[in-house]
């Protein structure tokens, strides 16, 4: 595990002061995950991320040793984006953010590009299943809608269904 993602991991609400670090993570992680999207991580997509998604979504960051290493954007119970710094991928940061989202919202949904096989594998391990698919007309790429039911909780020693 890289030195900068060991130690104490904190998940907290995004603050405006996280903008530059979050944009850098979004850009690097996005280019790695979506090499098939022209201009990913820059230009108009970066403007939209900065001016729309970081402003209007419910955003959370994972911080390790005082450094932001991941960003999660929520639109109610939909994960609008999960971006983990490439050097922090595989360390459990993404899993902790998804579990945080599930604790807040119960069942979750998201869309992921079919070609993003690494993310699809991660989401499958997290309990997401495909519900439907559609074509992203802007890029002519297939998007999969994935769903994950609310985790079962235990109260007074009895298992209960989704909250």
Q: Digits of tens for pLDDT over the chain (163 positions)?
A: 343 445 689 999 999 999 999 999 999 999 999 999 998 999 999 999 999 999 999 999 999 999 999 999 999 999 999 999 999 999 999 999 999 999 999 999 999 999 999 999 999 999 999 999 999 999 999 999 999 998 775 333 444 333 3
What is the pTM for the complete model shown? 0.86
Cα dihedral across residues 145, 146, 149, 150: positive or negative = negative
């Amino acid at each position: 595990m890289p030195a900068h993602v060991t130690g104490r991991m904190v998940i907290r609400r995004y603050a405006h002061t996280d903008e530059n670090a979050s944009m850098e993570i979004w850009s690097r992680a996005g280019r790695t995950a979506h090499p098939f999207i022209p201009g990913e991580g820059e230009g108009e997509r970066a403007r939209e991320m900065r001016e729309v998604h970081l402003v209007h979504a419910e955003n959370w960051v994972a911080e390790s040793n005082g450094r932001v290493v991941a960003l999660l954007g929520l639109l109610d119970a939909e994960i609008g984006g999960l971006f983990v710094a490439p050097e922090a991928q595989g360390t459990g940061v993404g899993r902790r953010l998804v579990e945080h989202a599930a604790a807040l919202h119960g069942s979750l949904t998201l869309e992921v590009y079919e070609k993003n096989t690494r993310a699809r594998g991660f989401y499958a391990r997290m309990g997401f299943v495909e519900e439907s698919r559609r074509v992203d007309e802007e890029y002519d790429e297939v998007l999969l809608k994935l769903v994950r039911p609310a985790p079962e909780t235990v109260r007074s020693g009895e298992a209960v269904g989704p909250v």
